[in-house]
Amino acid sequence: MKNMEVQVIRRSPLEVRAGAKPYAVYLNGEFWCDCTDMAAAKAEIAALKK
């Protein structure tokens, strides 16, 4: 994909306690997936770039 903006957001402790995974990945400002750790987020981003 060309010209994509990827953001990884660490969620707040309150959101995590409520059941959300700690990291959210956004592609061009839209939610793409959530991840349990930064390594998983990096793997998702790498898969997007293929």
Confidence of residue 50 (pLDDT cuts 50, 70, 90): confident
| Averaged pLDDT of the chain | 92
Q: How far is it, in rounded angstroms, from Cα 9 to Cα 12?
A: 9
Here the tokens at position 40 are 């998983």
Q: How far is it, in rounded angstroms, from Cα 19 to Cα 1?
A: 31
Q: Is 23 left (phi over 0), alpha (psi -120 to 50) or beta?
A: beta
Confidence of residue 1 (pLDDT cuts 50, 70, 90): low
